Amino acid sequence: MREVLLTALRLSVDLADRTVLDGIALAASAGEVVAVVGANGAGKTTLLRACAGLLPEATGDLALGGIDPRQTAPATLATLRAYAPQHPTSAWDYTLAELGSLAASPEAFHHWRARFGLGALEARRLSELSGGERKLAHLCLTFSALGDAYGKVLLLDEPTTALDLCRAELVARAVRANAQAGAAVLVATHDLAWARTCDRVLVLSEGRLVAAGPPDTALTAELVRATWGGA
Amino acid sequence: MKRPVGTLVLAALLLALLALAALACGGAGLGWGTNGELLMLRLPRVLAALAAGLALGLGGANQQGVFRNPLADPGLTGVFGGALLGIALLLAGATEFTWQHRWALPTAAFAGALATSAALVWLGRGRSTSKLLLTGLGLNAFTAAGTLLIAARFPEARDILVNGAAGDWLGAATLELAGLPILGCVVAALCLLTQASALDRMALGEDMAFCLGTDVAQTRRTGVLLTALAAAAAVCLVGQVAFIGLLAPHLARALVGPRHRAMLPLAGVLGAGLLLLADTLGRSLWTQTPVSAAAMTALLGAPAFVWIAARRHA
């Protein structure tokens, strides 16, 4: 039996006067890549942010590496999970070398930068990178935050959006490599082809979990039609 | 590659030369006087300008870092205005008491600055940084109006408040009066330097900073407190002066890059240099009718700022 690293039970989030997440139950174990799919506004980002400990107002049970992220100091939390926002930003125009110096482990940042094909761009500023390269640079920060991936939780919000096919494949492989090293990965994506290669899929619709399980059983043609509409 | 240490040492050397020049220049003539009496006359003013500029440069850099906005400046977001309003309220309510107790004025300034600094963060909660800045501009206008209202209603406080609003208090600096505010500036500056790595990560957004292990709420609270301390101490010395908090961090970033460990100390040194230069020029070029440090700062700072804004990467 593999170690369960992330569990949520009856997880709900109300933002303003709207229920964004409604009674979500989930579990993710070491070595597992779990895809979170759903239409725009289904609650994917809120689910990931709640799991990361970014929403103290979330109600229900939540455990990350055995502790409640809502009750944990940021420095401790940073050793248990890493998070990549959907739209990474930087107020200042760091060079890639400067960005790397903000990482938990600059050496790991360097490693991921080389792996994502940004190895030669050390002196390049963020504003001088393409949109996809910028996204990859920020992903390097997330991946390098984990250090040793074993027993950690990786929360990625649409990491392959804005990436070309080749770069998206690099990221998918990096995600798989982290899982093989012992991390539990929760990845929100609109790429259903990628979701089908994950170990399990959670389908969200209007804040509720409408299907969960291995891709073949969770992503049925019927459900895809019901969730995304169209033919 | 940029050399932060070399740039900082060079800037500090230039600042030392500027301070010597400032001690030797003035309306009473060049030099330090036969028995150093001109030196003793100018020393408090020079020390006050150096300390206030240091606090302003670092305070501006911190506010820009916390709000992730290059246009934040305690002089524009109402924190200075709050400090001045605090002083105005004290003068209006207890003039005698104020002049009997050396700590009264700085304390009132700190209370006013802390109130506006906290109001800024509270009113701007969960808003975009541009809305936060608009909130600051509103607070600034409100506190300025309050100060002018008090100046108009209380004739005994009028001159001093009008001079304060014009940033023209440096001339009145004596070692006795300036001691406590100078200490406040230095303490605030030293504490602000410790925020470097938190501010670096704040640039990536509050979510990402939190996830990298930075206590975002704590960083914000510390920023509110230290910016208020820096602003209050500086206002006690100079009065209302904008632009230093805006310009010094920009110049520092352009010279050594945006990493705060390199940029914060340089912003402090540049802030001190800019304010001292502005004050020295203002009182040396027109000896009969000296121009206030705030006016000279804007005169020098505004064109430089437009030039920086026109470039990228700043």
**Per-residue pLDDT reduced to its tens digit, A123-174:** 999 999 999 999 999 999 999 998 788 899 999 999 999 899 999 999 999 9
> A98: which chain B residues are within 8 Å (Cβ-Cβ)?
257-259
More reliable by pLDDT, B133 or A184 = A184
- A104 phi and psi, to 5 degrees? -60, -40
User: Span B64-90, mean pLDDT?
Assistant: 89
Percent of chain B with pLDDT over 90: 49
- B259 phi and psi, to 5 degrees? -60, 130
Q: What is the pLDDT of residue B126?
A: 64
A36 occurs within a structural domain: yes
Taking CB atoms within 8 Å and a gap of at least 24, the contacts of A20-26 are A20/A46, A20/A207, A21/A46, A21/A47, A21/A50, A21/A58, A21/A207, A22/A206, A22/A207, A22/A208, A23/A60, A23/A208, A23/A209, A24/A60, A24/A204, A24/A208, A24/A209, A25/A209, A26/A202, A26/A209, A26/A212
Looking at the predicted structure, is the pLDDT value of residue B313 above 60?
no
More reliable by pLDDT, B286 or A74 = A74
Q: Which domain holds residue B252?
A: 43-310
Q: Tell me: ipTM over 0.90.
A: yes
Are A74 and B213 an interchain contact pair (Cβ–Cβ within 8 Å)? yes
Q: Which domain holds residue A203?
A: 4-83+153-228
> A105: which chain B residues are within 8 Å (Cβ-Cβ)?
none
Q: CA triplet B189, B193, B199: central angle to 5 degrees?
A: 125
Q: pTM of the full predicted structure? A: 0.90
Are B215 and A74 an interchain contact pair (Cβ–Cβ within 8 Å)? yes
> A73: which chain B residues are within 8 Å (Cβ-Cβ)?
215
Structure confidence at residue A203 as a pLDDT band (50, 70, 90): very high
pLDDT tens-digit readout, B20-31? 998 888 767 777
> B312: which chain A residues are within 8 Å (Cβ-Cβ)?
93, 127
A98 occurs within a structural domain: no
Looking at the predicted structure, is the pLDDT value of residue A201 above 70?
yes
Structure confidence at residue B302 as a pLDDT band (50, 70, 90): confident
CATH code for the domain of A209: 3.40.50.300
A9 occurs within a structural domain: yes
B11 occurs within a structural domain: no
A129 occurs within a structural domain: no
Distance between CA atoms of B285 and A129, rounded to whole angstroms?
A: 48
Per-residue CA distances from B71 to B165, B192, B229, B304 (Å): 21, 19, 20, 14
Q: List B residues 207-236 in contact with A (Cβ-Cβ < 8 A).
A: 207-208, 210-216
Distance between CA atoms of B46 and B60, rounded to whole angstroms?
A: 21
Distance between CA atoms of B113 and B81, rounded to whole angstroms?
A: 7
With 0-12 / 13-18 / 19 or more C-beta atoms within 10 angstroms meaning exposed / middle / buried, residue A23 is: middle
Looking at the predicted structure, is the pLDDT value of residue B312 above 60?
no
Looking at the predicted structure, is the pLDDT value of residue A230 above 70?
no
Structure confidence at residue B293 as a pLDDT band (50, 70, 90): confident
Q: What is the pLDDT of residue A21?
A: 95
Q: Which of B63, B208, B166 is nearest to B121 (CA)?
A: B63
- Pair of tokens at residue B86: 């605090």
Q: Which of A63-72, A125-134, B254-263, B283-292 is predicted with the least confidence, judged by mean pLDDT?
A: B283-292
B27 occurs within a structural domain: no
Reported as half-sphere exposure (CB side, CA atoms, 13 A), residue A9 has a value of 3
> How many domains, in total, are found in chain B?
1
B74 occurs within a structural domain: yes
More reliable by pLDDT, A182 or B304 = A182
Q: What is the pLDDT of residue B311?
A: 66
CA-based nearest distance A126→chain B, Å? 10
Are A85 and B212 an interchain contact pair (Cβ–Cβ within 8 Å)? no
Q: Which of B84, B73, B262, B224 is nearest to B166 (CA)?
A: B84
CA-based nearest distance B193→chain A, Å? 17
pLDDT tens-digit readout, B99-130? 778 888 889 999 999 999 988 888 877 666 67
A29 occurs within a structural domain: yes
Looking at the predicted structure, is the pLDDT value of residue B1 above 50?
no
CA-based nearest distance A8→chain B, Å? 19
Number of residue pairs across A and B with CB atoms under 8 Å? Answer: 79
Q: What is the pLDDT of residue B127?
A: 62
- What does R_g of chain B's alpha carbons equal in angstroms? 19
Q: What is the pLDDT of residue B75?
A: 83
A75 occurs within a structural domain: yes
Reported as half-sphere exposure (CB side, CA atoms, 13 A), residue A167 has a value of 22
Structure confidence at residue B170 as a pLDDT band (50, 70, 90): confident
Q: What is the pLDDT of residue B37?
A: 75
Looking at the predicted structure, is the pLDDT value of residue B32 above 80?
no
A113 occurs within a structural domain: no
More reliable by pLDDT, A100 or B297 = A100
CATH code for the domain of B255: 1.10.3470.10
The single residue listed with the structure tokens 């008090």 is: B150
> How many domains, in total, are found in chain A?
1
Q: What is the pLDDT of residue B234?
A: 94
Q: What is the pLDDT of residue B128?
A: 66
B225 occurs within a structural domain: yes
A48 occurs within a structural domain: yes
Looking at the predicted structure, is the pLDDT value of residue A231 above 70?
no
CA-based nearest distance A221→chain B, Å? 36
Interface of A with B (CB under 8 A): 49, 52-54, 73-75, 77-79, 81-83, 85, 88-95, 98, 101-104, 123, 125, 127, 138, 141, 145
More reliable by pLDDT, B76 or A19 = A19
CA-based nearest distance A230→chain B, Å? 35
Looking at the predicted structure, is the pLDDT value of residue B222 above 80?
yes
